[in-house]
Each structure stands twice: as C-alpha cells, then as structure tokens.
A and B are shown apart, each in its own frame.
Chain A
Amino acid sequence: MSIGQWVPLAAILAPLIGAAWIRVAGPGRCAGAAVAIGAVVVAFAGCTLLAFIAGRGASPALALIALVPPIHLTLRVDALGALFGLTVAALYVPATFHAVSWLRDDAYWRLYHTVALACLALMLLVAFAGNLVTLLVGYELFSLVSFLLIVHRRTPDAFRAGIKYLAYVIPGAALTLIGTVIVFFAAGSVGFAPGGLDVPAGSAGMLTVAWVCLVFGFGVKAALFPLHGWIPDAHPAAPAPFSGILSGVMVATGAFAIVRVAYEIFGPVRLEALGVMPWLAIPAALGVVVAGVLAVGEDHLKRRLAWSTISQMGYATLAASLLEPRALAGALVHLANHAFIKGGLFFAVGAVAAVAGIHRVSELPGLSRRMPVTAVVITVLAAALVGLPPLAGFIGKWWLVTGAAEAGAWPVLTVLLLGSVLAALYLWPVVFAAWSAPPELRSGSPVRRDEPWNGMLAAALVTAVLAVVFGVAAAATGYPLGLAVRAAAALAGGS
C-alpha cells in the first residue's frame, strides 16, 4: 500500500470538503472565496503530484467500497487519468478566481462555489476511475449536478437551456448504464485494462450494442455531432466562469470517457474487428464541419464559441477513432490545450460581458480601446485555437495531422484542415472586430478605458500565458505533450 494510492482520494475529497464547508458553515464572501480557492489549489497540487507519479507507470488500484458486488468503487491513476485530472484541476484554478470576481454581487455565490467544487470532485473521480462503473458514477452525478450551474442565473432562458440539457443528458446516462451492464455481463469485469477486456460471453452483436450505447451516452457530453443540441444554449445561459469549465473540461470528459472505453474496455483490435470505428468517425467529421460553418454565421459571442467547441471536440473524437497511437496522442494533447484555450476565451468573453455589457461580435468594435489587455488575450487565444505556430493549439493539431497522415487517412486529414480553415473564419472576425475602431470614435466622443484588474482578467491572462507556454515549450514542460504521448503509448501498447 503506497502513499500514492491515497493521493487521488485526497484530491477528490479536498473540493468536496470545501464544498461542504461553504454550504454548511456559510462563510462570508471573502472567507468563502478563500475556501473555494484553497480547495481547488489543494486538488491542483494533488493532481500535479499524480502527474509525476503517473510518469513512472500506473499506480495500483485503491478499492473504496463495494458498490454492486463484486464491483468496487475504485481509484487508479495512469498517464491518461493524470493528464485529464491535471487539466481539470489546472483550469479550475483560474476559473475559481474568475468566479470570485464574476459573483461579486451575486446572491447565489455560495451555491455556485458549492456546486462547482462538487463538479470538480466528480470530474476528478471520472479521471481517476479504476473501472467503468466508477467512471459512470462520477459521470452521471456531475452531469446531474451541473444542471444547477447552468440555471444559475434563474432566467427563463437559463431554465430553458437547463431543461434542454437534462433532456439530452438523462437519456445519455441511461444509455451508458445499459452499455456498462452489457460490458460486465459479457466480460465479467469492468476494470480498465490496456488492450481491452476478454469477452468470453459476448457475441459481436451484443458488443456492438454495448459500444453504440456507450458512445452515444458519452457522446452527449462530448458534443458528438447529432447529440450536441444542448451546447449552444447552455453556454450563454451559464455563468461565465462555468461556461469556461463547461467547454474546457466538462465536454472533454465525454471524449475522455470514449477514449477510455475504446482503448481499455473494447481495445483497438476488437474495435477493428467489429468495424464500428467509421461510425464514430463520420459523426465526428460532420461535427467538425457543420459546427464550424454554424459558428461562422453566429453573432452571439458565447454561442459562437460553443459551436467552436463542438467543432474542436470533433477533432479529438475523429483522431481517436483512427486507433493510431500518434493520432491518439494528438487527440489527448488537443483536449488538454483546448481546455485552456477555450476556457480562457470564455473567461475573457465573460469579462467583456460583465464589464462592457458586450455579448455580440457586432458590438465588439472599440474593445481594444476600452479593454486592451483583454483584447490582447482574446487575440492570442484565438490564434492558438486556429493553430498558429508556436502556440498551444498548433502542437495538438500537428500531432493530429501527422498521425492521420501516418495512418493514411486522407479524408480525415482533409476534414482536419477544413476545420482549421473554419476556425480561422469564425475567430478572425472576432479579433478583427475587437481591434477595429469604435463607432463613438468616428462620431468624436472619447472612449474611456475601463478594464478593472480583477479575477476575471487575471484568469484570462493566465490561460493566455499557458497557451503560449504549452506551445513554445511543448517538449520541455512534460505536460500536456509528454504525458499525452506516454498515455497514448500505454493505451496502444496493450494491443
């Protein structure tokens, strides 16, 4: 029993304790903010430690309680889990600072922190799940709990978005449960094993049903193409810091779960044999293109970014569906980098909305005068998302593209490049508008600079710095690239 076994539990419990504290003790605003930030930082520290531990190979599993005997709630840390867990926790640090500023005059700020911290704990449970049932528990619970954040504003729009969200997520959860039960029935186990499980009892038809259930179930979260409907509504409705989390890591949870299921439950060999991967690739590719096109035509800033998320998630799913280690590494790096880039964009856009009251692309002109730092941040992050070297977005795309080329998947390559062009098309107008002259200037009235130095700006700035660092020093940091390559090697190595 090594001490490392207990670190994931500590990382999960820290935000839960913080959440309970804020809920039960009812601290004042300053103390509450301090507790929330403290809990997130502890979780972040734990995840950082786990990333180092996972660098030396997967940790032994820690069985917690017998949930449905013989299956236990189990925690285990491997490179994939550490990569995802660290991404979640790392994005939560700026997000929590952002939230503290954003919620300055909000009556429900305690509820926000409580639920956001609970979501963090549950997402870490997903990341460090040692078997499919544990993953399912974390996944279903945070899906349900995050409803409270989507409807945080209590406006009719927010409720409509929240109910739409539930209408997608609950059937999705039901499907994942069906898939999980079939897996357990067929394999007699739900533990993750590189290369997939043995399935003595499963026929090809049954396994295909299980695969379809799991992919559709998790695909609801992963913004897989026909299941993406809730995303463009949920993002504008949610509070800005949570929009960042939603797009950055919560959507990625679905993709993460699909990777887990594909590589460690079914295994590449069996998936090839079943011939189901094209059926994942086609909706993913459609998502990349269709969502990209819709983003170009969208005026509402947050909705445009939400469409962009759907498109970008399509990249990762598409790359994972190639069953090729290099493309998988690219997908994982892209998931991590996208988390910071898109999270940062939402933080910045949230700050713009909160300070300047600007919600639409057409209202952006003059932003560079009013909020110059924010405008720079948006520009950097947009460039990173498009994939300009040497920024972070480029690294993931480079691995994706070279992986697809190695696999000889030319249609995939085409889609990836088309997606990048679309990203440039929907982000360039944003940048252009932000830097163009305001209408007031033409009419002669001066534009005041009103850019408060607060958590919102700091959060956006930090993610922009990360987007640069993870691009320029991709090889040196060991995260996310090093960890992703290691995870991909471990996942593919078992086959």
Chain B
Amino acid sequence: MKLSFCAHLHQELSLSWRNKSSVLLQCTFLVLASFLFPLGLSDLSTLETLAVPILYVLALMAFSNSFPQIFQKDFEDGTLTQLYLHPVSIHRIALIKALALWISHGLILVAIAPFLAMLLKIPMDLLPLIILSLSLSLLAAALIGTLAASLTLGSKNKFFLTSVLVFPLFVPLIIFGTHAPLSETWSPFLMLLGLFLLYLPISIWLSGFALREALTQ
C-alpha cells in the first residue's frame, strides 16, 4: 500500500489533534509565563524594550517543550518501524514530523501571539511583522527539534539532552527573529529564511540517518 505525502501529513496532524495535551501544555506555558513576566518588573516602562525578546524566548521555550516527545510514542508502539518497513523514505518521515509539529504546535503559538502582544504592550503596528518572523523562526525551530529528537531517541536522559542540543542552535533564531520586527530593512527576514533553507537539508538528512540507526541498532 502506498502512503502519499498528503495522506501521511494528514495522519500525523489528526494524531496530534486527538492528543491535545502537549499543545495545551505549551500554550498554557506561554500564556502564563508572559502573564507572570510583567509582574516581576518593578519599573513597567522597561517592558517596552523587553516585550519582543520576552515573547520570542518564551515562545521558543514553550515550543521546545514538545521536542523530546516527537518520535517517542511512535518509537515505543512500533509505528516508526512499520513506516520504516513501508516503502516510505526515512527522510520523509522526519520531514513530515517537522511539518506536522510546526502546523499543530507552532502555528497555534503564532495564533495566540497577538493576544500576548497586547498583554506585553507591544505596539499593534508591529504585529504583522512579528507574526511573520515568529512563524519563520518556529519553522526553523521545528527542524532543529526534529533533529534533536531523533538524536536522543531511546536515550536515558532525553529531556536534559534535548535542551542542551537545542539551546545553542536557537541562538541565531533568537538574534534574527527579535531584530526582524524592529529593523527597518528586510535583511533579518532574509536571514531567517536563509537559516530555514540551510537547516532544512541538514536536519532532514541527519535526522533520517539517526532514525535509521535508532531503528536498526
């Protein structure tokens, strides 16, 4: 039986739709954390300069909550082995996982970003740019997360390892993502796009390799 790209993606999306707890967890984390942050400030006028970085860092942290679990369930119940035995390329499995993660988890975060921008007093005219750069950053972050998840698959301490692996790779995303809405030029957006295009082959190729090793070890 052949599994087409769209059917495969649809299957992943409906799986994450049925299992909403991780989506709910990350959204709650983001909302609560950005609600608590201003309460920690003694001088609220500093919020103006801090708001955009706070939103980005919290969104990326909330997003990375779900990274350790990306392949875990499929690995444990044998779905991954079944897919591997199918005539489905292992790289496509990784690509679909990253795409599904971005659609099911990332775009939800982007969707609640306007609400958080209001809480954090970010000027409303920045909003379209923030949405654009946040969705691009989260797309690149989904690729990084897929790579980290496939590398730590079956490890003893995968929560610690995933965060250690993911944090240094987030550095360029944080830098260009937070500068993109405030910059006068489009160059940070182009940089984000470039990062995505660079991470796409590296991450898909290497996580496919790591997945095959994990399945055949």
Do A and B bind? no
Residues of A within 8 A of B (CB): none
Residues of B within 8 A of A (CB): none
